[in-house]
Amino acid sequence: MTLRTLAKTDLVISDLCLGGNVFGWSADERQSHDVLNVFTELGGNFIDTADVYSEWGDGHVGGESESVIGTWLKSRGNSDEVVIATKVAKLSTRPGLSRANIIAACDDSLKRLQRDHIDLYYAHEDDATTPLEETLAAFTELQKIGKIRFAAASNYSGARLLEAASISKQNNLTEYVALQNHYNLLEREEYERDSVPALKVLGIEGLPYFGLARGFLSGKYREGVSVESVRAGGVTKYTNDHGWAVLAKLDRLANHHSVSLSAIALAWLRQQPTVAAPIASARTVEQLREIMVSVTLSPEEMAFLKA
């Protein structure tokens, strides 16, 4: 893994961010700890989670992923070696971006993470019912007392990201330093049309989620093949001529570089001008090893994938 500094911060991050949405859900605590151990052994240091992960699971209440990461951090003894990002707004018991909710949700997350600070704290989605001034003031308050290092936005439109930056400047409030929106080889239009211009204006970077299109770009989903996975329902929109054509391109480049399809799909994202690090999750160590391989694609290969 290559380490780099996230724009407008002093956060030194690996160029792959490990998604924690599977921890405590499709990966139990032991499996999750194994993945986290190997991730750091291979040079990764950037982990993404959220308070809502995995409220959707049977019998879950949210916070399961943070709790699994927290027990792992405690077992290491030095949690400052890794950069932890988590989020607020989507948990049903802690909804929205009011000051009161952000402050309370942050404390909840810190307890589960067994940590005294969050490196990158996201507004998980825009909250039109709360003034941006209130939300940004709450993040500023948390930053001043050391509970968060930086604030960022997720699922924000370009217009709202620009509006938030303007309000921050006008009121001397902390600014969002990154944007986590949906972006991958099969989900390009909205990010490239709406997010990229705003990121360029602000000089900040994207940390796109679903880098492997819910696992479709790993190549395990093939025409005529049935896959048993808790996430299989999320890929049906890709099982069409366009999706198969993209997999065929990934197959060609993966064979040429002798790496996995996942490595090629993530390399394409990593080499986008506005992307600091793609986010991808792994349920097993075997899956993790596939996404941890770094590949540099030529300009011709980049164009081939995008065509």
Catalytic residue ranges: 53
* Rounded Cα–Cα distance for residues 117 and 149 (Å): 7
Estimate the crossing angle of helix 241-257 against helix 261-270, to 10 degrees. Answer: 100
Instruction: Tell me the DSSP string of 147-209.
Output: SEEEEEEES--HHHHHHHHHHHHHHT---EEEEE-B-BTTB-HHIIIIIHHHHHHHT-EE--B
Phi-psi group of 170: left, alpha or beta (phi > 0 → left; psi -120 to 50 → alpha; rest → beta): alpha
Decide if 66 contacts 112 (C-beta within 8 A).
yes
* Rounded Cα–Cα distance for residues 215 and 195 (Å): 23
Tell me which residue of 57, 61, 79 sits closest to 70, measured CA to CA: 79
Which two tokens mark 140? 């500023």
* Rounded Cα–Cα distance for residues 125 and 155 (Å): 5
